Amino acid sequence: MLNDNIEERVNLEINNGIALVRLNRPDKCNALDMAMFIAIKKIIKRLKIDRTIRAVIVTGNGEDFCSGLDIKSVMASAKAPLALLFKWLPWQANLAQYVSTGWRCIPAPVIMAIHGRCWGGGLQIALGGDFRIATPEASISIMESRWGLIPDMGGTLALKELLRLDIAKELAMTGDVVNGDKALKYGLVTHIDAEPYERALKLAETICQQSPDSIAATKKLYNKSWWSKPGFALARESYYQVKILLGKNRAIKTYNQTHPNDKAREFTNRQNW
């Protein structure tokens, strides 16, 4: 087991290939200050290159997942807003956007376990995951309009995949707060569970029983092909399948399936996806 505190804002624990990421500012409802933005970015970059990671669970310490941007803290420095919004090229993610979109670049699936408040920037982070599991009474909102802002942390990429356009506009323009049940109805969350972390852990353990190459390739295939032209999607399917067939993990998965009475063979580290 590996334990690590980065900037004291995010806790990371890795056990049996499952990385548990905990936002760690419970006294401030896990609100995002500059130290937390930087810590999340470091965690994402670390998990992105760790080929032993099979699944990631993200949650928050304390009573809330994340209540959004700590405006008072961020605006206390004239440089902080510039640091959040600066980017070299318009189509690249800045720091504010990376804490949402960066999870999509991790080859392993990312599961967000949501409880309490998940507002504004907190929801933007959650939208970066592959799955979202929330409590029925979770408080969820695209809240930026209440501060005269637009949602600009990259969650738009996921919203266009998950929600009808009119629902997304209504939530963003009104700043309405919805509970977990209503969020499930809209498609903002994948599952509702009174114990979201335990449900997330079960899902992660199920995924870990599969070939890590198959899981990584499926995530990349769907993320890249969901809105692409059909020809590109077909080409990716063929290329990724050939790459998997040439790897060791498919043979190990096949052996374990066809020899259930034998001792299960361990998967090797996933390929570089």
Cβ–Cβ under 8 Å, residues 166 and 84: no
**CA nearest to 187, candidates 162, 222, 215, 150:** 162
Residue 6, pLDDT score: 57
The angle, 0 to 180 degrees and rounded to 10, between the axes of the packed helices 248-258 and 230-245 is 70
**Residue located via tokens 């501060």:** 147
Kindly tell me the burial class for residue 45, based on how many C-beta atoms sit within 10 Å of its own C-beta (0-12, 13-18, 19 or more): middle
Residue 1, pLDDT score: 47
pLDDT, tens only, 223-257: 999 989 999 999 999 999 999 999 999 999 999 99
pLDDT, tens only, 180-213: 999 999 999 999 999 999 999 999 999 999 999 9
**Residue located via tokens 């198959």:** 214
* pTM attached to this predicted model: 0.93
Cβ–Cβ under 8 Å, residues 69 and 25: no
Residue 80, pLDDT score: 83
When the pLDDT of each residue in the chain is averaged and rounded to a whole number, the result is 94
81 or 20: which leads in pLDDT:
20
Cβ neighbours for 211, distance < 8 A, ≥ 6 positions apart: 244, 249, 250, 252, 253, 267
Kindly state the DSSP code that residue 74 receives in the 8-state scheme.
H
Of 2-11, 141-150, 224-233, 258-267, the poorest mean pLDDT is in: 2-11
How far apart, in Å, do the first and last CA atoms of the chain sit? 25
Q: What is the mean pLDDT of residues 69-84?
A: 84
